[in-house]
Amino acid sequence: MILHGNCLYIMPTLKAGSFHTSVTSPPYWGLRDYGLPESDWPEVTYTPMPGLQPIAVPPWTGCLGLEPTPEMFVAHMVLVFREVWRLLRDDGTLWLNFGDSYASSGVKRDEGLNEHRPKRSQPAALKPKDLIGIPWRVAFALQADGWYLRMDNIWAKPNPMPESVGDRPTKAHEYMFLLAKSEKYYYDKEAIKEPGVQDEWANGFRGGAYTGGKTFDNQDGGKRTVRGNFRVPAGWDTEPGSHGTIHRTGRTSNSFARKVKESPPPGQPQQHRPDREPVEYSGMRNKRSVWTVATQPFPEAHFATFPEKLIEPCILAGAPVGGHVFDPFGGSGTTEKVALENNRECTIIEMGSQYVEIAKRRTAVVQPNLIF
């Protein structure tokens, strides 16, 4: 479902506890003028970080992302996500994509749109060329507002925008924060497991490991004292078709990497460490926090579309089949498209009429994936 309007005004009309998860990418501060109508923002009081004193931000009229100070932008983000909190179930999650900007950067505009709006000024408390840290400012403010800040997933871009800079690396990442309403929340780890790396289990141990008297050393640039084939300790076996994993005969819940690392000298009893992460014989492992996803061009001129593969894990882990996904900044409808393809319901809110039409076209012919 696509709702056309300002999320600030539409969200209060929606039923509380309606959504399993929210996956969204708000406008980044100070980077883009989207040519949208101005909004009337009320005074907001928020805490910038747990343990700090609250600050009050005065009323303001303007577009989200074009606030005169980072503090006002963060206040407006807190206000928006207080309402998202209300709309989520008690076991709901928020997946929040954010990129950063520099203190000396200016606002980019679409050609011919709102050229009368002034370029944003240098933040008074920051030096020119300072990285502002907007993603973390928002994350810490939401944490102080009651959200559980669970993970700072890194979106690594193999094809980032080129930058003409010579005194720092080219920016090639953004954040996808995972936040939750409660300590216990819905999270389907099985739905987003990823393929493991064979050498990670067979040859990539951290430190030395007892292997029948031979030692692997992965501390010096990945070098090992033994290369190629190695002797498997007594009582261990290999499983055909298991991506090279080696396991103890009769034990199916622990990885070779864990068992070998903890194998005692012969004659001593085997110790079990339940605090170590298992690696499955299927070759799958728990999803890591660095997600390498190429940026995805979109032919219909929406310049802030995030890749479908970036948000697919968020939707799969955040909502069950038949569950309901929410995006208060719907844009060109990427969240709805991916949710529908994966047999989830979705509601998005989009303020720009041009983007609503794009989202309608993109989601009109979606074919859900077959479930076996």
In DSSP notation, 264-300 reads PSTTSPPP--TTSPP--TTSEEPPPSEEE------TT
pLDDT at 300 (0 to 100): 64
Q: How confident is the model at residue 17 (pLDDT cuts 50, 70, 90)?
A: very high
Q: Tell me, what DSSP letter sits at residue 131?
A: B
Find the mean pLDDT for residues 351-361: 88
173 SS3 class: strand
* % of the chain beyond a pLDDT of 70: 69
Q: How confident is the model at residue 173 (pLDDT cuts 50, 70, 90)?
A: very high
Top pLDDT among 86 and 368 is at 86
Q: How confident is the model at residue 119 (pLDDT cuts 50, 70, 90)?
A: low
Q: How confident is the model at residue 277 (pLDDT cuts 50, 70, 90)?
A: low
Q: For residue 134, what is the enclosing H or E element?
A: helix 134-144
Q: What is the pTM of this model?
A: 0.76
Find the mean pLDDT for residues 230-235: 46
Q: At what angle do helices 334-341 and 308-318 cross, to 10 degrees?
A: 60
* Least confident range of 77-91, 141-155, 170-184, 245-259: 245-259
Report the candidate in 150, 147, 180 with the shortest Cα–Cα distance to residue 20: 180
Give the integer Cα–Cα distance in Å for 117 and 60. 15
Give the integer Cα–Cα distance in Å for 243 and 194. 13
Give the integer Cα–Cα distance in Å for 60 and 72. 9
pLDDT at 315 (0 to 100): 98
Residue 319 has pLDDT above 70, yes or no: yes
DSSP 307-352: PHHHHHHHHHHHS-TT-EEEESS-TTSHHHHHHHHTT-EEEEEE--
- HSE at residue 129, side-chain half, CA atoms within 13 A, is 4
Residue 66 has pLDDT above 60, yes or no: yes
CB atoms within 10 A of CB 74: 24
Residue 357 has pLDDT above 70, yes or no: yes
Give the integer Cα–Cα distance in Å for 148 and 92. 11
Q: Could you report how far apart the first and last alpha carbons of the chain are, in Å?
A: 26
Find the mean pLDDT for residues 32-51: 89
Give the integer Cα–Cα distance in Å for 331 and 2. 10
Top pLDDT among 247 and 135 is at 135
Q: Are 25 and 306 in contact (CB under 8 A)?
A: yes
Find the mean pLDDT for residues 324-351: 94
Pairing of strands 108-109, 290-292: unpaired
Residue 206 has pLDDT above 60, yes or no: no
Q: How confident is the model at residue 40 (pLDDT cuts 50, 70, 90)?
A: very high
Find the mean pLDDT for residues 223-245: 44
pLDDT at 160 (0 to 100): 86
Q: For residue 24, what is the enclosing H or E element?
A: strand 19-24
Give the integer Cα–Cα distance in Å for 230 and 226. 7
Residue 57 has pLDDT above 80, yes or no: yes
Helix %, strand %, coil % for the chain, to 5? 20, 20, 55
Give the integer Cα–Cα distance in Å for 257 and 110. 53
- HSE at residue 267, side-chain half, CA atoms within 13 A, is 0
Q: How confident is the model at residue 30 (pLDDT cuts 50, 70, 90)?
A: confident
